[in-house]
């Protein structure tokens, strides 16, 4: 069988909608919306630069925040229910009273983050790093969830829960 190279660009263009790069692309207008402090549930915030953002009670439920940078952000009472927070960097952030119910926090870094009083009901914590994080008074957090995460001697947990060292 001979391939005619004159038809090759048509074949390549026909396959572009199936490309994983296209599906994972950032939505710059939605990222700008969040940077302006406006709620954006179910938005595509993939790899968003949200470091230093200061917003109270923002709703990002169901949003795709995978690989986003939220370092040093202050997002108290934020709603991340059922959001994709895999591989997020939230170093030194303040997210007290936030809801992570049903969210996927796989391989996320919450090093030195204040998560005091946050809700983790049904959250996935596979490989999540809570070193130095304040999870005191967290709700919905179970030992089974923490068995999949890690922390250090400075990690503050609700009474009766423990976490393995990273």
Q: What is the pLDDT of residues 10-41, one digit of tens each?
A: 433 344 444 344 455 789 999 999 999 999 99
Q: Are 80 and 63 in contact (CB under 8 A)?
A: yes
Q: Are 88 and 66 in contact (CB under 8 A)?
A: yes
Residue count of the chain, please give it. 166
Q: pLDDT (tens digit, 0 to 9) for every residue of the chain, 166 residues total?
A: 454 544 444 433 344 444 344 455 789 999 999 999 999 999 999 999 999 999 999 999 999 999 999 999 999 999 999 999 999 999 999 999 999 999 999 999 999 999 999 999 999 999 999 999 999 999 999 999 999 999 999 999 999 999 999 9
**CA distances for 149 relative to 98, 103, 124, 133, angstroms:** 19, 14, 9, 12
Alpha helix positions (H), the chain = 8-15, 20-24, 28-35, 143-146
Model pTM score: 0.85
* 151 SS3 class: strand
């Amino acid at each position: 069988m001979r391939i005619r190279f004159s038809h090759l660009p048509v074949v390549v263009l026909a396959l572009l909608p199936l490309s994983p790069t296209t599906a994972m692309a950032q939505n710059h207008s939605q990222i700008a919306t969040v940077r302006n402090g406006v709620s954006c549930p179910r938005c595509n915030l993939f790899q968003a630069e949200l470091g230093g953002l200061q917003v109270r009670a923002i709703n990002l439920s169901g949003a795709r925040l995978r690989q986003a940078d939220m370092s040093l952000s202050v997002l108290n009472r934020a709603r991340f229910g059922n959001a994709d927070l895999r591989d997020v960097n939230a170093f030194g952030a303040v997210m007290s009273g936030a809801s992570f119910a049903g969210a996927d926090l796989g391989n996320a870094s919450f090093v030195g983050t204040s998560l005091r009083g946050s809700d983790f009901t049904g959250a996935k914590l596979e490989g999540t790093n809570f070193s130095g994080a304040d999870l005191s008074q967290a709700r919905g957090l179970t030992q089974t969830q923490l068995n999949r995460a890690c922390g250090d001697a400075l990690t503050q947990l609700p009474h009766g829960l423990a976490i393995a060292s990273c």
